[in-house]
């Protein structure tokens, strides 16, 4: 057990950076009934404002997701109390900015009779080990808005590995939870659907689950994709920057997104509001087919026009 993961005694506040195993590693370990733990990569005495270095290239591959990101926890300890905050780090990132952590809101780490239903005795599991608990949800997360006139056919495709980025919920004391940073979770299996909307928002479902990180805290985290959500109607927005005409019956507009439009959505879990956004991490597609009327595709960026992050199709 790394010394840095041992519960701290009274002394100066210490801030530590932990990385979690990739989702594939966590799920494989759970299915096999084998333990898996966080790994400590940096630690220092706390100061009012500082960053902790993180070299993704130096990490064991088991801690890096297939999409290239790493989920990390910033853990502050003082006088045996713990405060946690999470974030997702991508290859372009070099440092993890440490937020201001209010140790007055910190709690004793899980373990012993006060930890509730998910209690894990420190003697039974080492600090940093991940122990799964109750499921929550499923919750709807937004994927993309599709804006088209009813005379212009549209199809939105979400395929392959979807992902969701969600505010972590941390248990503080008794039934009370607080929001604490964000983490990303990709689906562990292929998912896909095609929706044929007219001015609609495409949504998908994710299940969340509680987990204990021994000696650190209890969290509510995205766990797995649970299927296609609803497609509620939205108000058509006429973006100002338009391309050339599309003519019936054969013209069509096709757009591939490397990681498509994402949206924040509120999730209410244990009395706190969590923010979640979902996307199709690969092969997200949007198609407009101009079979009955001449039309244009317009965007929200004057330089990208039809390649803008947000587009709409309408008659012209």
Enumerate residues 6+ apart whose C-beta is below 8 A from 244: 296
pLDDT for 279 equals: 60
For 22-45, write each residue's pLDDT tens digit.
Answer: 988 998 999 999 999 999 988 888
**pTM to 2 decimal places:** 0.72
Backbone torsion region of residue 95, taken as left when φ is above 0, otherwise alpha when ψ lies between -120 and 50, otherwise beta: beta
Query: What six digits make up the tokens of 168?
Result: 């972590």
Q: Are 214 and 75 in contact (CB under 8 A)?
A: no
pLDDT for 184 equals: 81
For 226-255, write each residue's pLDDT tens digit.
Answer: 878 888 998 999 999 999 999 999 999 988
Q: Are 148 and 200 in contact (CB under 8 A)?
A: no
Coil, helix or strand at residue 258:
coil
Enumerate residues 6+ apart whose C-beta is below 8 A from 270: 169, 175, 176, 177, 220
Percent of the chain with pLDDT over 70: 75
Read off the pLDDT band of 3 (50, 70, 90): very low
Among candidate residues 73, 89, 208, the one with its CA nearest the CA of residue 139: 208
Q: Are 8 and 34 in contact (CB under 8 A)?
A: no
For 172-193, write each residue's pLDDT tens digit.
Answer: 655 667 778 778 887 766 666 7
Q: Tell me what the mean pLDDT of segment 133-158 comes to.
A: 84
Query: What six digits make up the tokens of 1?
Result: 């057990």
For 89-122, write each residue's pLDDT tens digit.
Answer: 888 777 777 777 777 767 777 653 333 333 444 4
């Amino acid at each position: 057990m790394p010394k840095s993961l041992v519960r701290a005694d009274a002394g100066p506040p210490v801030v530590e950076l932990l990385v979690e195993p990739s989702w594939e590693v966590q799920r494989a370990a759970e299915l096999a009934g084998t333990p898996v733990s966080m790994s400590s990569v940096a630690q220092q005495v706390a100061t009012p404002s500082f960053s902790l270095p993180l070299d993704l290239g130096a990490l064991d591959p088991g801690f890096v997701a297939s999409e290239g990101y790493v989920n990390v926890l910033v853990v502050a300890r003082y006088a045996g109390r713990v405060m946690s905050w999470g974030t997702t780090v991508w290859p372009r990132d070099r440092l993890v900015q440490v937020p201001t952590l209010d140790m007055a809101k910190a709690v004793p780490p899980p373990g012993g009779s006060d930890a509730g239903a998910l209690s894990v005795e420190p003697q039974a599991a080492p600090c940093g080990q991940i122990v799964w608990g109750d499921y929550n949800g499923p919750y709807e997360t937004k994927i993309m808005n599709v804006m088209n006139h009813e005379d212009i056919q549209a199809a939105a495709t979400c395929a392959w590995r979807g992902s969701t980025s969600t505010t972590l919920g941390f248990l503080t004391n008794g039934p009370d939870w607080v929001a604490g940073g964000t983490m990303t979770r990709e689906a562990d299996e292929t998912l896909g659907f095609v929706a044929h909307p007219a001015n609609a928002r495409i949504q998908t479902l994710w299940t969340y689950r509680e987990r204990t990180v021994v000696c650190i805290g209890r969290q509510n985290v995205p766990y797995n994709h649970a299927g296609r959500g609803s497609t509620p109607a939205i108000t058509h927005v006429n973006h100002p920057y338009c391309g050339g005409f599309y003519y019936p019956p054969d013209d069509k507009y096709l757009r591939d997104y490397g990681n498509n439009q994402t949206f924040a959505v509120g999730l209410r879990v244990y009395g706190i509001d969590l923010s979640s956004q979902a996307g199709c991490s690969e092969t997200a597609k949007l198609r407009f087919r101009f079979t009955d009327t001449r039309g244009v595709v317009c965007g929200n960026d004057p330089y990208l026009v039809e390649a803008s992050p947000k587009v709409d199709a309408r008659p012209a």
